[in-house]
Amino acid sequence: MTFRTIDDLAISGKRVLIRVDLNAPVKDGVVTDATRLEAVGPTIRDVIAKGGKPVLLAHFGRPKGKPDPAQSLAPIAPALAAATGVPVVFCGTTTGEEAADAIAALPGGAALLLENTRFHPGEEANDAAFAKALAALGDLYVNDAFSAAHRAHASTEGLAHLLPSAAGRLMAAELSALEKALTAPERPVIAVVGGAKVSTKLELLGNLSKRVDQIVIGGGMANTFLFAKGIEVGKSLCEAEMAETARAIIAGAAEAGCEIVLPTDIVVAREFRAGAASETLPAEACPADAMILDAGPETAAEIARRFEGAKTVVWNGPLGAFEIPPFDAATNAAALAAATLTEAGRLLTVAGGGDTVAALNASGAAARFSYVSTAGGAFLEWLEGKTLPGVAALEA
């Protein structure tokens, strides 16, 4: 796809409405992880450098269309200023005269953060009147919130049709990475798909099987696929009712020329806790009283070998119960192998999804991947082949 960026807009002297994702974790009024706040810095600083006034639109939590002090963006403003190096003024309203006056009074070099867009029922309803009320505050619109682009809301989709619009730096980087990974990738392409349940990733597997050359399946999902092949999985997490579906996925992938890769060895334990006694066994040898909690070292080494022959890796989900050592070993080993190849310039690695980001951060591989998306639902829907309303509205 082709899309406009802020370089395509005449920004000097203009009020620029920027949709950002500020959904950072807050405890006792203090932001505990500023990753998402830091990520919007380049767009805000560029708008200021080009002579524009940045006016930030964002949601926070799920206030269900009415004001909720517990979900106000007020505590985010000082943390955003610290994370971006830009002074941030907070306005307790989202539309109307008070917001317009705050924009007019905004000093040069600062950004204005308006109150939670979801305090208004018109936001999630993509109400035309609410979108117009937002548009009245700006001259230009920039969407820098890929993580919210799968929602057709007033501030993510409606506004793009009312003002000259473009993608921000973060959005542009995300779209570029995803295009290189799936739309026009260098082959061979390997997808790593983990997680608990096959039932939540049917559309993902169906789309990927038509786009990639190999799919490595891990986590609880792998147990269901092993079970579908007639392998006993003991007391492991397993969707036995999805066995027929799993067999259909394997057959469909084969028809499309895509290989499904399953664990050949497993790490099992009798209890799910850190440091629990565990053993490594062939995939066919899970004891009846044990749970499969990770792929084994042989499987991790095989995945690393496959990465050696690939050009592109798309990663969504861990290979095991990575939150609890020692069941993070396969995820860590495979992730570090991919990271090493990425740094050597031999592999493009794009990853995303909540558990994925946490797992790659824990392994130390995240910073060494080509691109790690913090967008959960939007990243997943892109991998599923769905049109994202917030992205489609930016197409040139």
For the annotated catalytic residues, the residue numbers are 36, 197, 354, 377
Checking phi first, is residue 45 left (phi over 0); if not, alpha (psi -120 to 50) or beta? alpha
Q: How does DSSP classify residue 210?
A: T
Report in angstroms the alpha-carbon separations of 125 from 18, 23, 91, 121, 155. Answer: 20, 20, 23, 6, 10
Q: Which residues contact 86 (CB under 8 A, 6 or more apart)?
A: 41, 44, 45, 48, 54, 80, 109, 110, 111
Contact (Cβ atoms closer than 8 angstroms) between residue 56 and residue 196? no
Euclidean distance between CA atoms 237 and 225, whole angstroms: 11
Mapping DSSP onto H, E and C, the string for 117-179 reads HHHCHHHHCCCHHHHHHHHCCCCEEEECCHHHCCCCCHHHHHHHHCCCEEECHHHHHHHHHHH
Pairing of strands 26-27, 30-31: antiparallel
Report in angstroms the alpha-carbon separations of 176 from 7, 142, 283, 369. Answer: 15, 17, 38, 15
Q: Which residues contact 262 (CB under 8 A, 6 or more apart)?
A: 217, 222, 225, 226, 229, 283
Collapse the DSSP code of 316 into the 3-class scheme (helix H, G, I; strand E, B; otherwise coil) and give the result. strand
